[in-house]
Amino acid sequence: MNILLLGYGKMGKTLEQIARERGHRITEKIDLHNREALQTLDTRQVDAAIEFSQPDVAADNIRYCLKHHIPVVSGTTGWLEAKPAVERYCQEVKGTFFYASNFSIGVNIFFKLSQYLAAVMNRYPEYAPSLEEIHHTEKKDAPSGTALTLAEGMLSELSRTQTWELQEDDHHQNTGILPIKSVREGQVAGTHIVRYASSLDTLEIRHTAYNRQGFALGAVLVAEWIRDKKGVFTMDDFLKL
């Protein structure tokens, strides 16, 4: 399969490695330094694109792929205010668009566990919910896209919370707000913690990534899966969770 890489930072390089290991060919690698290469790219030679770029160019990258009938897999976070419009455009041009805030199989299982736990904890209002995410210092957006997906699942089940709020520390109080703490340190790949705290005890579940390999492998597997499909898809469609 011929894959176009949109974004060639650390994740892009990991994607390239895994794609080659799985027998795929990288048609082109696009980043901020060679975006003009898209103007002369032979899109007929591209079977799928994987987009891990920057928030300010993600929507344009995805629209480019949809316009040229290239199935596109995106994992860029921090641009989601434009996502509904991108999805409408995908439907208009009968394209193929797959978005996930995290392509790790383990994280997506974690999403489901967290949402189920929220449904259970909804019956115990003495427990105040909170989220914490820890990432490397080069990550530009906060909270992480993964944390926002976790928050959406929790808010859908917890009647005592109406919205989330980014906070510098954990305020375990049932105030109608789900606090999210974002920590940036070292070169950690990513840790996400869901907590429910009462005056008597704390219940906690967490997911810790050791490297980028799991994210990259998931994205390549998805690119293989969507190449013959049309529409807008998520990890729920891919994993059938």
Residues annotated catalytic, as ranges: 135, 139
Q: What angle do CA 129, 131, 136 make, to 5 degrees?
A: 170
Alpha-carbon distance 222 to 228, whole Å?
11
Structure tokens at 197: 């705290």
Torsion of the alpha carbons at 108, 113, 115 and 119, rounded to the nearest 10: 170
Torsion of the alpha carbons at 196, 198, 200 and 203, rounded to the nearest 10: 0
If DSSP codes are grouped into helix, strand and coil, which group holds residue 73? strand
Pairing of strands 190-197, 128-135: antiparallel
If DSSP codes are grouped into helix, strand and coil, which group holds residue 160? coil
